């Protein structure tokens, strides 16, 4: 928490590039939570240099623009539908990111992330490097549910690749010496994966399905 | 039932049907269908929330102290208002009173969200309904500079060179084929009425707003530890005060940070005063001059708010935006609103895809039920998975129909300002600023701006100007300015408390569930950017037994009820002429003036909305 505020208040040394890791998606909708869960896991396991910011972007759309603008290097985790096998990862870099998001309309969020990237470009503040780590969701219609095993397993490959890239960008990842304290987490401890799963109400208590027309459109 | 009258509107669904799905540039997913008469005037309007909403159900059995973190995820825009309503509902249920400093910090966070959300909504989601971006490329930068010095004389960024730079940047962007954020426009449509210079000025301010908004939200980072999902706490705020301390002391609030907050408040106020309000006044004046005063709908008759921004916490008589209900356009009589009274706020599902034990009876939110039932009326065209036209005589929306004492109400900044004005006229000392702002705006729109722009003067009263799409957009801007002003007071008061030695920011006496009663119920009220928000909670044995949110876009976006009364979106579209039926600029303009947030009103999941709305004319 402290570091986040400092980042907000005092500009960093101009010599160090700002590295931003952004997880987007809605963790209430099963595999839609992939992006946020990746950021959560990354922070639970690793510490980074001071010029690295981890962001739980949720479904904030346009309100994430400052994080894009501030970044020199931007890494995005998101669940994106490429019609691949469930849990398959896709890595898209640099200029291909907005283009890809644009053509295939991959973003699952209303304020398309492509639009956010384009607006950042229009303002002239745009990262020099962008990497999108996308994961093919298996199920996004299980309301209140968690990641499916296929997507959960895919997180490992996603994190490995993220660490490799972050290392090359100068993020200096190193394994945490002591566990992450709850208040330091960029994601909310109330929504932490294990707790979220353990305290889920039963199917009798809480309806888990969505609108069937949306299901049909996705089929 | 092709024609009937309700709430002063004559509904007629015999003319050509136009379907707009999805309505773009909103949060979440919605669809609207209208019928046009032979002159292309809207004679029937049907608003459908196309997503199921079930946030409440996944809270069942969870810890009430965690609920705020879940409700923050309802929606991509108004995280903070849901979190605040949630902690207030739990505190209300358990009888927890928060310390004055916590109240002031929460007020500043809520008002920051208000200023931020209003400004971002106007420039990024709504301005494009008034402003033709492509026309801005034809503007003369020198005349744009003159225009700005006329309408926003206090704003320093106004040289012809500055506007030329923006125009070049925009040109490059458009020529590269990356229309991006501007892809959804119907550029060149005759419904756009601003001269190119006004369009360039507005696009320029769009970019300025984009730059500034990121500074304002840092207030959330300071008080809430992080953004975009700040921390909340049942019992107060999760930030300790250590005024002389450095950051190593572990307390996030020291003098340096408080000064930082104050600087951001001042910046926000300057922008609202010098740019946002003048822009809206100028755009409103030009459209009003062309006779475009459509879109009033229910605001001309029925408006409601619970009341907000108490100077003294827990004393509603000190609300700086006082609440109440106004019926039938009678601004002389303000009826009291009580969120706990089972006879007042009720939700109906007669035309919504839910089941109640008795489908035509309303339920108070404490007794609310969220049980989906997707079924289509016999006159529906299309199939269950591909609806061509809904049948509004049956169930047709995932949004429920909240009613106040059985009446359909409009909520939002316009409702709050009509109420604030009515209270101020009755002598309420806490909202005189509302009256002052409105009277200043009327003077600008009727006299000062027409004079400066070489247009004819007008003589519209508050009652003529406010209930309109322009009025809705204007009061949102005024509310942003007022919130920034109130934040200065909040900040000063916090400093006084701290100087007097009061550093308390949380009351944790009842943190432990063993101190709670076996059963409790509470309600949390917030003036969300889009209007009156309430969360109703029932707690049993330390866990959530029932949780219901009645959000502003549910009030405004509600479908018909058992009596056939239409909702605020539907009413606002009535009797509006559409220049080009397959380019529904006017429909989007009025819907966007509500700042619809269908993610809250329905649920979070949605398709990508980047594509142009599909418009079908039958």
Q: Please state whether beta strands A129-135 and A89-93 pair in parallel, antiparallel, or not at all (unpaired).
A: antiparallel
Query: What is the per-residue pLDDT for A217?
Result: 38
Is the CB of A206 less than 8 angstroms away from the CB of B28?
A: no
Instruction: Decide if pLDDT at B43 tops 70.
Output: yes
What number is the ipTM of this complex? 0.78
Percent of chain B with pLDDT over 90: 71
Residues of B in contact with A56 (CB under 8 A): 226, 228-229
Active site residue B479: no
Is the CB of A105 less than 8 angstroms away from the CB of B611?
A: yes
Q: List the structure tokens of A42.
A: 């990354």
- Residue B418's alpha-carbon distances to A96, B110, B287, B298, B445, in angstroms, are 49, 21, 21, 12, 17
Q: Which one of B181, B252, B256 has the shortest CB-CB distance to A119?
A: B181
Please enumerate in sequence order all residues whose Cβ is within 8 A of that of B502, keeping only pairs 6 or more positions apart, or say none: B99, B100, B101
Q: Which one of A60, A191, A201 has the shortest CB-CB distance to B61?
A: A201
Closest CA to B132 of B180, B200, B72: B200
Residues of A in contact with B169 (CB under 8 A): 122, 124
Query: What is the per-residue pLDDT for B609?
Result: 30
Hey, CA dihedral for B535, B540, B542, B544, is it positive or negative?
negative
- For residues B477 and B482, give the distance between their C-alpha atoms in angstroms, rounded to a whole number: 9
Q: Which one of B50, B66, B76 has the shortest CB-CB distance to A111?
A: B76
Is the CB of A212 less than 8 angstroms away from the CB of B63?
A: no
Is the CB of B607 less than 8 angstroms away from the CB of A4?
A: no
Active site residue B433: no
**Buried b or exposed e, range B30-66, using 16+ CB within 10 angstroms:** bbbbbbbeeebbbbbbbbbbbbbbbbbbbbbebbbbb
B309, B489 Cβ separation under 8 angstroms: no
Is the CB of B605 less than 8 angstroms away from the CB of A32?
A: yes
Q: Give the total number of structural domains in chain A.
A: 1
Active site residue B553: yes
Catalytic residue among B31, B82, B220, B257: B82
Residues B48-99: tens digit of each pLDDT: 876 655 667 778 899 999 999 988 876 656 678 999 999 999 999 999 999 9
3-state secondary structure of A90: strand
Q: Is A123 on the interface with B (CB under 8 A)?
A: yes
Our CA angle for B73, B76, B79, nearest 5°, is 55
Q: Which domain holds residue A185?
A: 2-218
Residues B299-335: tens digit of each pLDDT: 999 999 999 999 999 999 999 999 999 999 999 999 9
Residues of B in contact with A190 (CB under 8 A): 66, 68-70
B357, B324 Cβ separation under 8 angstroms: no
- What are the start-end ranges of the H helices in A123-170? 149-169
Query: What is the per-residue pLDDT for A45?
Result: 96
Residue B616 pairs in a beta bridge with: B19
Active site residue B431: no
Q: Which one of B51, B63, B250 has the shortest CB-CB distance to A214?
A: B51
Residues making up chain A, counted from first to last: 219
Cis peptide before B155 (omega within 30 of 0): no
Which residue ranges in chain A fall short of pLDDT 70? 1-14, 99-112, 207-219
Helix, strand, coil percentages (3-state) for chain B, rounded to 5, are 45, 15, 40
CB count within 10 Å of CB B312 equals 12
A16, A7 Cβ separation under 8 angstroms: no
- For residues B554 and B396, give the distance between their C-alpha atoms in angstroms, rounded to a whole number: 14
Instruction: Decide if pLDDT at B594 tops 60.
Output: yes
Q: Is A56 on the interface with B (CB under 8 A)?
A: yes
Q: List the structure tokens of B300.
A: 């001309």
Residues of A in contact with B180 (CB under 8 A): 114-115, 118-119, 121-122
The highest-level CATH class for domain B6-128+212-518+555-607 is mainly alpha
Instruction: Decide if pLDDT at B605 tops 80.
Output: no
Is the CB of A58 less than 8 angstroms away from the CB of B207?
A: no
- For residues A76 and A57, give the distance between their C-alpha atoms in angstroms, rounded to a whole number: 10
Instruction: Decide if pLDDT at B405 tops 80.
Output: yes
Residues of B in contact with A209 (CB under 8 A): 52, 372
pTM: 0.90
Phi-psi region of A144 (alpha: psi -120 to 50; beta: other; left: phi over 0): left
CB count within 10 Å of CB B317 equals 11
Query: What is the per-residue pLDDT for A28?
Result: 82
Residues of A in contact with B398 (CB under 8 A): 211
The DSSP letter of residue B524 is E
Query: What is the per-residue pLDDT for B53?
Result: 56
Question: Where do we find the tokens 């046009």?
Answer: B36
A147, A33 Cβ separation under 8 angstroms: yes
Q: List the structure tokens of B297.
A: 């709908």
CB count within 10 Å of CB A176 equals 12
**Total H helices, total E strands in chain B:** 19, 17
Active site residue B549: no
Active site residue B618: no
Please enumerate in sequence order all residues whose Cβ is within 8 A of that of A152, keeping only pairs 6 or more positions apart, or say none: A37, A146
- For residues B596 and B586, give the distance between their C-alpha atoms in angstroms, rounded to a whole number: 15
Q: Is A213 on the interface with B (CB under 8 A)?
A: yes
B532, B553 Cβ separation under 8 angstroms: no
Is the CB of B609 less than 8 angstroms away from the CB of A111?
A: yes
Residues A11-69: tens digit of each pLDDT: 555 578 999 999 988 888 888 899 999 999 999 999 999 999 999 988 777 778 889 99
The CATH code of the domain that includes A206 is 3.40.50.1450
3-state secondary structure of A162: helix
């Amino acid at each position: 928490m402290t570091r986040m505020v400092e980042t907000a208040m005092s500009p960093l040394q101009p010599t160090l590039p700002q590295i931003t890791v952004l997880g987007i998606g809605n963790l209430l909708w099963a595999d839609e939570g992939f992006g946020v869960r990746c950021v959560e896991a990354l922070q639970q396991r690793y510490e980074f240099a001071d010029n690295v910011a981890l962001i739980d972007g949720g479904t904030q759309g346009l309100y994430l623009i400052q994080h894009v603008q501030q970044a020199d290097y931007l890494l995005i985790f998101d669940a994106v539908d490429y019609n691949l096998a469930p849990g398959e990862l896709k890595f898209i870099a640099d200029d291909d990111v907005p283009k890809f998001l644009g053509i295939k309309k991959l973003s699952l969020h209303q304020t398309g992330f492509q639009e956010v990237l384009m607006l950042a470009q229009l303002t002239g503040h745009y990262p020099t490097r962008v990497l999108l780590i996308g994961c093919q969701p298996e199920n996004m219609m299980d309301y209140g549910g968690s990641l499916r095993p296929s997507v959960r397993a895919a997180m490992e490959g996603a994190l490995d690749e993220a660490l490799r890239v972050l290392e090359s960008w100068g993020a200096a990842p190193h394994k945490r010496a002591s566990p992450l304290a709850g208040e330091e987490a960029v994601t909310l401890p109330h929504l932490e994966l294990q707790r979220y799963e353990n305290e889920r109400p039963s199917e009798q208590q809480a309806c888990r399905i969505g609108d069937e027309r949306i299901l049909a459109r996705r089929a | 039932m092709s024609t009937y009258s309700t709430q002063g509107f004559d509904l007629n669904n015999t003319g050509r049907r136009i379907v707009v799905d999805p309505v773009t540039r909103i949060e979440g997913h919605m669809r609207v269908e209208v019928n046009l008469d032979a002159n292309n005037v809207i004679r029937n309007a049907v608003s459908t929330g196309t997503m199921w909403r079930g946030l409440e159900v996944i809270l069942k059995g969870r810890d009430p102290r965690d609920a705020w973190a879940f409700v923050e995820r309802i929606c991509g825009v108004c995280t903070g208002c849901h979190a605040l309503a949630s902690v207030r509902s739990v505190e209300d249920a358990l009888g927890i009173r928060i310390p004055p400093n916590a109240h002031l910090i929460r007020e500043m966070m809520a008002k920051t969200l208000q200023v931020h959300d209003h400004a971002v909504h106007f420039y990024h989601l709504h301005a494009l309904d008034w402003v033709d971006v492509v026309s801005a490329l034809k503007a003369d930068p020198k005349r744009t500079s003159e225009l700005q010095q006329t309408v926003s004389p206090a704003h320093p960024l106004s040289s012809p060179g500055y506007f030329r730079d923006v125009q070049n940047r925009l040109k490059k962007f458009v020529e590269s084929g990356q229309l991006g954020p501007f892809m959804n426009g119907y550029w060149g449509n005759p419904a756009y009425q601003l001269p190119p210079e006004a369009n360039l000025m507005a696009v320029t301010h769009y970019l300025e707003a984009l730059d500034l908004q990121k500074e304002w939200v840092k207030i959330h980072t300071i008080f809430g530890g992080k953004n975009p999902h700040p921390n909340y706490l049942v019992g107060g705020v999760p930030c300790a005060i250590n005024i002389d301390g450095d950051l190593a002391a572990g307390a996030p609030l020291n003098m340096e940070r408080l000064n930082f907050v104050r600087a951001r408040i001042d910046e926000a106020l300057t922008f609202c005063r010098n740019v946002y309000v003048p822009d809206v006044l100028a755009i409103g004046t030009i459209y009003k001059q062309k006779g475009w005063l459509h879109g009033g709908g229910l605001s001309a008759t029925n408006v409601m708010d619970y009341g907000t921004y108490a100077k003294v916490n827990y004393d509603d008589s000190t609300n700086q935006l006082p609440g109440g209900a106004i019926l039938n356009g009678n601004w002389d009589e303000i009826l009291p609103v009580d969120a706990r009274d089972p006879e007042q706020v009720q939700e109906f599902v007669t035309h919504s895809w839910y089941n109640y034990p008795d489908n035509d009876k309303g339920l108070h939110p404490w007794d609310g039920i969220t049980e989906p039932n997707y079924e289509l009326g016999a006159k529906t065209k299309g199939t269950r998975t591909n609806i061509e036209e809904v049948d509004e005589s049956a169930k047709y929306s995932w949004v429920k129909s909240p009613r106040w004492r059985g009446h359909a109400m409009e909520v939002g900044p316009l409702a709050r300002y009509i109420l604030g004005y009515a209270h101020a006229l009755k002598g309420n000392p806490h909202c005189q600023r509302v009256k002052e702002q409105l009277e200043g705006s009327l003077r600008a729109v009727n006299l000062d701006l027409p004079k400066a722009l070489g247009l004819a003067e007008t003589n519209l009263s508050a009652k003529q100007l406010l209930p309109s799409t322009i009025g809705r957009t204007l009061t949102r801007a005024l509310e942003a300015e007022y919130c920034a002003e109130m934040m200065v007071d909040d900040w000063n008061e916090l400093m006084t408390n701290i100087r007097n030695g009061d550093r308390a920011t949380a009351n944790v006496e009842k943190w432990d569930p063993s101190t709670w009663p076996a059963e409790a119920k509470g309600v949390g009220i917030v003036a969300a950017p889009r209007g009156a928000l309430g969360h109703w909670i029932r707690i049993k044995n330390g866990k959530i037994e029932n949780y219901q949110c009645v959000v502003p876009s549910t009030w405004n976006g509600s479908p018909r009820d058992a009596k056939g009364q239409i909702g605020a979106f539907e009413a606002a579209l009535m009797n509006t002429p559409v220049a080009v039926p397959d380019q529904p600029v006017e429909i989007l303009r009025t819907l966007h003036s509500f700042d619809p947030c269908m993610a809250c009103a329905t649920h979070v999941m949605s398709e990508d909305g980047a594509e142009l709305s599909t418009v079908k004319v039958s």
